[in-house]
Amino acid sequence: MQQRKLGKSNLEVSALGLGCMGMSSGYGPPGEKQAMIAVLHAAVEQGVTLFDTAEIYGPLTNEALVGEALAPFQKQVKIATKFGFRVGPNGERLEGLDSRPAHIKEVAEASLKRLRTDVIDLFYQHRVDPDVPIEDVAGAVKELIQSGKVRHFGLSEAGAKTIRRAHAVLPVTALQSEYSLFWREPEVEIIPLLEELGIGFVPFSPLGKGFLTGKIDEHTKFDASDFRNIVPRFTPEARKANQAVVDLLNTIASRLKATPAQVALAWLLAQKSWIVPIPGTTKLPRLLENLGATALNLTPGDLAEINTASAKITLHGARYPEHLQKLIGR
């Protein structure tokens, strides 16, 4: 597996990481525990070294799953987790955000226990809390780094001004935000800023929440607990209209004897050397398919063809419902 450094930091990880959220929440019922552990172990065997989780996934259960599965491999993997949402004492999700410094430190202690480790490799603020200055957030994580409980600081879905303010207090190792051929907004302002400051980029949903695999169409029915049921971009009408981007990927994939997912991931990897996508999956064959993207080298001609064709496609539907849209880009 190729290795990449996240920006100017010394955090070196596999070119593709593994997003673990879907094993516990978000895309339907949680996966069967032993089956999920098998996928996590297979990822390690294939050379994946970056694993992404969060307190809110489950809540709490995804960190526990990742911690149990990766306990034997702690010296060879890096685990990223996140703070900032409110979680009740019994693991119930509560409304609102909480990035108060005291709370950040409480979350860190609890996450360390669930992850069965002495140090969190990458600790992200999950969403920017408008009630807590980002300087205070960065200061709290800085103290956790100084005490040896955290190695690197990250932000998720933060806007440019917030990134710059946080970075002035404590170097930000990575930004995690959505980026793919299904959502290219970061190219406008965020990617140039990350390049300027030397911050790595960890795109989540690099396959457009599954849409770019080509396995979803306007007739696909999602489980009642699947987050995509409330996403405007996943209405049947939007899916039908957005099929154009999958058709483009299919055209390239058939020529290269690859899959649409592999082309979509290879395209992301080709954008910058400090981009590390974290596709998620609960299935071993899909894991192996995704990792195959690291061996797919798109030529300048391929990339130009994708960019020219995709520029002519208008994607339909917002990527979040309105109440969640408020939490991004602050």
How far apart, in Å, do the first and last CA atoms of the chain sit?
Answer: 35
DSSP letter for 235, please.
S
Burial class (CB in 10 A: 0-12, 13-18, 19+), 159: middle
User: Could you confirm whether 57 is annotated as catalytic?
Assistant: yes
For Cα atoms 199, 202, 307, give the angle at the middle one, nearest 5 degrees. Answer: 100
Contact, 39 vs 287, CB < 8 A?
yes
Active-site pick, 57, 124, 179, 320: 57
Q: Are 267 and 275 in contact, with CB atoms under 8 Å apart?
A: no
Rounded CA separation 238/258 (Å)? 26
Q: What are phi and psi of 18, to 5 degrees?
A: -125, 120
8 A C-beta contact, residue 201 and residue 269: no
- The total of other beta-carbon atoms located within 10 Å of residue 147's CB is 11
The pairing of strands 50-52 and 18-19 is parallel
CA–CA gap between residue 50 and residue 3 (Å, rounded): 10
Inter-residue contact 178 to 205 (CB < 8 Å): yes
Q: How many CB atoms lie within 10 A of CB 259?
A: 23
In 10 A of CB 189, how many CB atoms?
A: 13
**CA gyration radius for the chain?**
19
- Which residues are part of the catalytic machinery? 57
